């Protein structure tokens, strides 16, 4: 058996340690290279996603602007519809007041006509009209009374026409 010197043993130990370290170092270098490539791929993927996100962000901002404009236009449309509704309600209110006024007028015309009918019934005979005419003091007064009777008859006809028109 050979006896190795301490120096030789030390050199052999250093050599094996160096070879082992080199092997480990080579293995670490390969692993590091793989990790480096993997990380570079992840960075490239992240950059791609970031670019797509930026484009998507621009599209999203455009869409947001369009949606805001759409909301504004819908608010304007709603305001216009509300104004139209107020106008329609105002016209309905005016029409309702006009209907009430016309109904009151019709009621008044009917009452006036009824009063005239009662008076005409009381003075229904031609004899009463003749007495009314001949009881005048002079010809002028008789002529005025005749005109009055004619106007009264015309007024009654007009009242009838107004009532018929109002009830249509």
Residue 90's CB: how many other CB atoms inside 10 A?
10
CA pair distance 112, 118, nearest whole angstrom = 10
Query: In angstroms, rounded to a whole number, what is the distance separating the alpha carbons of residues 15 and 90?
Result: 107
User: What mean pLDDT, rounded, does the chain reach?
Assistant: 80
- Identify the burial level of 68 via C-beta atoms within 10 angstroms of its C-beta, where 0-12 means exposed, 13-18 middle and 19 or more buried: exposed
Query: Residue 5 in 3-state DSSP?
Result: coil
| pTM across the whole model | 0.44
Q: Which 3 state secondary structure label does DSSP give 94?
A: helix
Which pLDDT band, with edges at 50, 70 and 90, does 5 fall under?
Answer: low
What CA–CA distance (Å, rounded) separates 49 from 26?
Answer: 34
* Segment 111-134, tens digit of pLDDT: 988 888 887 777 666 667 777 778
pLDDT tens-digit profile of 35-89? 778 888 888 877 787 777 777 777 777 777 888 888 889 888 888 889 998 888 9
pLDDT at 26: 59
Q: How confident is the model at residue 1 (pLDDT cuts 50, 70, 90)?
A: very low
Helix (H/G/I), strand (E/B), else coil: 68: helix
């Amino acid at each position: 058996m050979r006896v190795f010197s301490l120096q030789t043993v030390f050199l052999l130990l250093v050599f094996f340690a160096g070879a082992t370290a080199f092997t480990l170092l080579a293995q670490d270098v390969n692993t590091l290279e793989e990790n480096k490539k993997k990380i570079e791929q992840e960075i490239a993927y992240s950059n791609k996603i970031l670019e797509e996100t930026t484009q998507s962000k621009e599209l999203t901002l455009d869409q947001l602007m369009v949606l805001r404009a759409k909301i504004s236009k819908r608010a304007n449309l709603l305001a216009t519809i509300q104004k139209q509704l107020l106008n329609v309600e105002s016209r309905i209110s005016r029409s309702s007041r006009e209907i009430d006024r016309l109904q009151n007028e019709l009621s008044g015309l009917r009452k006036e006509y009824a009063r005239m009918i009662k008076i005409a019934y009381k003075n229904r005979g031609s004899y009463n009209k003749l007495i009314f005419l001949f009881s005048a003091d002079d010809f002028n007064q008789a002529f005025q009374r005749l005109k009055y009777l004619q106007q009264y008859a015309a007024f009654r006809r007009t009242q009838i026409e107004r009532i018929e028109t109002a009830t249509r």
